[in-house]
């Protein structure tokens, strides 16, 4: 890709990195640590297509427009969640109480749904306005309808319009961020 300044091709490795496997590996590790240092939140994303439901731990979440209110979420193409959001065209975000941080480890694989108890992996959920599952012990919920799906490498960036929001706990409850855990994603 040509640089904007017309200085010739750039990337993925900058000119200062030698063209050897060792130099590339060392730079790969550095770049990963730099990308991991980007501050982010940590959420559960509820998806629904018909009677299929899932909750997935996610940190690639950001508001991208305030008129209309659009939230962008990056979802890996191989995830069950990707299938459900593509089919159902909705998602619901749950923000997590910092004291409940252990929960995010329970939602990194497809969930088990118990329709009688209304639980996913044993955690109580309820339906948002879109029908997508919301963690009942969330601090807040944001229900979205998908307006656009942008293909970005091995993920899809789904842009959802906010159609319902709620606080389920006191508004000043501290919410979970990536830095509260020892986890990383991406890089």
Angle formed at CA 131 by CA 127 and CA 132, multiple of 5 degrees:
80
Shortest CB 106 distance to ligand FMN, Å: 10
56 binds ligand FMN (CB under 6 A): yes
Sheet holding 43-49, edge to edge: 52-58, 43-49, 90-95, 140-152, 155-167, 69-76, 61-66
Shortest CB 82 distance to ligand FMN, Å: 7
Q: First vs last Cα of the chain: how many Å apart?
A: 21
Contacts with ligand FMN, 84-123, as mask; x by CB under 6 A: ------------------------xxx-------------
Sheet holding 119-120, edge to edge: 113-114, 119-120, 123-127, 133-135
76 binds ligand FMN (CB under 6 A): yes
185 binds ligand FMN (CB under 6 A): yes
125 binds ligand FMN (CB under 6 A): no
63 binds ligand FMN (CB under 6 A): no
């Amino acid at each position: 890709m040509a640089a904007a300044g017309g200085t010739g091709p750039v990337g993925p490795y900058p000119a200062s990195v030698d063209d050897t496997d060792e130099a590339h590996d060392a730079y790969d590790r550095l770049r990963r640590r730099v990308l991991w240092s980007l501050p982010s939140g940590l959420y559960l994303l509820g998806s629904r297509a018909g009677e299929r439901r899932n909750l997935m731990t996610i940190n690639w979440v950001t508001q991208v427009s305030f008129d209309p209110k659009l939230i962008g979420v990056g979802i890996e193409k191989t995830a069950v969640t990707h299938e459900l959001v593509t089919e159902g065209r909705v998602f619901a975000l749950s923000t997590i109480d910092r004291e409940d941080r252990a929960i995010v480890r329970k939602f990194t694989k497809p969930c088990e749904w118990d329709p009688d108890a209304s639980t996913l992996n044993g955690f109580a959920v309820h339906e948002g306005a879109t029908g997508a599952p919301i963690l009942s012990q969330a601090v807040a919920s944001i229900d979205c309808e998908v307006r656009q799906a942008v293909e970005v490498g091995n993920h899809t960036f789904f842009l959802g319009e906010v159609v319902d929001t709620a606080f389920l706990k006191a508004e000043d409850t501290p919410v979970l961020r990536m830095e509260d855990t020892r986890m990383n994603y991406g890089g």
